[in-house]
Amino acid sequence: MVPLFVVLFGLTFLLHALNVLGDHITAIVWPIILIAIGLQKNFEMRCTCCSRM
């Protein structure tokens, strides 16, 4: 899952460099991608024994 976020992160900056995405959209998209990576890593590290009720 992380490689997908890395590709999206790079694609965001590539499209910005090619003037496909404006500054405003790029400023919104890349923090969202980083937050998604962090959340994915957080849930990935949880053990199965602690998540049972």
Q: Which two tokens stand for residue 21?
A: 């995405």
Yes or no: say if 26 and 16 are a contact pair by the CB < 8 Å rule: yes
If 0-12 CB within 10 Å is exposed, 13-18 middle and 19+ buried, where does residue 15 land? middle
Q: Which two tokens stand for residue 36?
A: 């998604």
Q: Which two tokens stand for residue 25?
A: 């959209």
pLDDT score at 12: 86
Taking only the tens place, the pLDDT of each residue in 4-40 is: 878 888 888 888 899 898 888 888 888 888 888 888 8
pLDDT score at 48: 67
